[in-house]
Structure 1
Amino acid sequence: MNMSSILTKENILLNKSLNTKEEAIKLTGSVLVDRGYVEPNYIEKMMEREELTSTYMGNFVAIPHGTEDSKQFVKESGISFIQVPEGVDFGGGNIVKLLIGIAGKNDEHLSILSNIAIVCSEEENIEKLISAKSPEEIIEIFEGVN
């Protein structure tokens, strides 16, 4: 799965301010809906997933996505990326500054997750993503994976 084919400038929101985890997940999902990757019901499934287990991954990153039974609402694979420099509390003292929403068609979510994990495992990349001033900077960091 080539990241540059699913992470476009239009999928990236920079310098957002969010008050709650719920608001963060809904915004992450609404980008996926607005860009035509998923049906609106997918956002509900993202909220359900968060209730089952937190999508906080550590290192200021959360990866909201739907439940196992949400695949029916995915039209095509896509990513939404939301930068929250001030952070949003995901509970338990976990502060999220980068939200990466994913929707994977068939089993493509596994390779998407793998690429995200590679990028986000480097603290230097996290710092660059949090301080990025343009969507192009974000895309460049993820393109380095392929």
Structure 2
Amino acid sequence: MSIFAKENILLNTAVETKEEAIRLTGSILVEKGYVDADYIEKMLEREQLTSTYMGNFVAIPHGTEDSKCFVKQSGISFVQVPEGVDFGGGNIVKLLIGIAGKDNEHLDILSKIAIVCSEEENIDKLVAAESADEILAIFEDVN
């Protein structure tokens, strides 16, 4: 099973709240077998401790330090919210990248995500993407 697969990508999603957005991002990880359902609560707990909003319309919801026991294997979920969802403090999120990391496997993925999301042009492409293949291609272009 791939860490970041086409099946883990949701396009053109509309969510009302930050909590709904995080639950949706986590539910993909649960559905695809990366984590136990309890991981979603840990993602919400993490958000209360510190916002996972990264700037540039991107949030990276993930579990707390003590949530590792709920991770079966490393995985990434991707939710595109073209209309945006308010993450508080005027921060609008259009791309949610949910992460579940086993051991340190996810660190490599995180660095790729950071590189891709640091370019405003890439964010625009990801928000406008109309297929999962387009999104995967943007991340695959990063070495």
TM-score of the superposed pair, with normalisation by structure 1: 0.96
Q: Which runs of 5+ in 2 are unaligned?
A: none
Q: Residue 45 of structure 2 aligns to which amino acid in structure 1?
A: E
- The answer to whether the aligner puts 1:137 opposite 2:134 as a matched pair is yes
- Partner deviation per Cα, 1:74-120 (whole Å, 9 max, x = no partner): 00111000000000000000000000000010112222211110110
Q: Does residue 1:51 correspond to 2:38, yes or no?
A: no
Within 1, Cα distance between the matches of 2:101 and 2:66? 12
Aligned partners of 2:142, 2:75: CA distance in 1, in Å? Answer: 16
Question: Is the 1:104–1:112 Cα contact (8 Å) retained in structure 2?
Answer: no
Note if 1:107 corresponds to 2:131: no
Indicate which of 112, 115, 119 corresponds to 1:118: 115
> SS of 1:127's equivalent?
helix
Residue type matched to 2:126 in 1?
A: L
Aligned length: 143
| Partner Cα distance (1:71, 1:30) in 2 | 16
Distance 1:63 1:39 in 2: 18
Identity over aligned pairs, percent: 78
Measure how far apart 1:42 and its partner are: 0.3
Please name the residue that 1:29 is paired with: 26
Moved over 3 A (4+): none
User: In structure 2, how many angstroms separate the alpha carbons of the residues matched to 1:109 and 1:54?
Assistant: 19
Cα RMSD, aligned residues only: 1.1
Matched to 1:75, the amino acid is K
Q: Please state if 1:9 is matched with 2:9.
A: no
Displacement, 1:14?
A: 0.1
Equivalent of 2:78 in 78, 81, 102: 81
- 2:38 alignment partner in structure 1: 41
Point out where structure 1 has 5 or more consecutive residues left out of the alignment.
Answer: none
Cα shift at 1:35 = 0.3
Please give the secondary structure, in 1, of the residue aligned with 2:97: strand
Partner residue in 2 for 1:97: 94
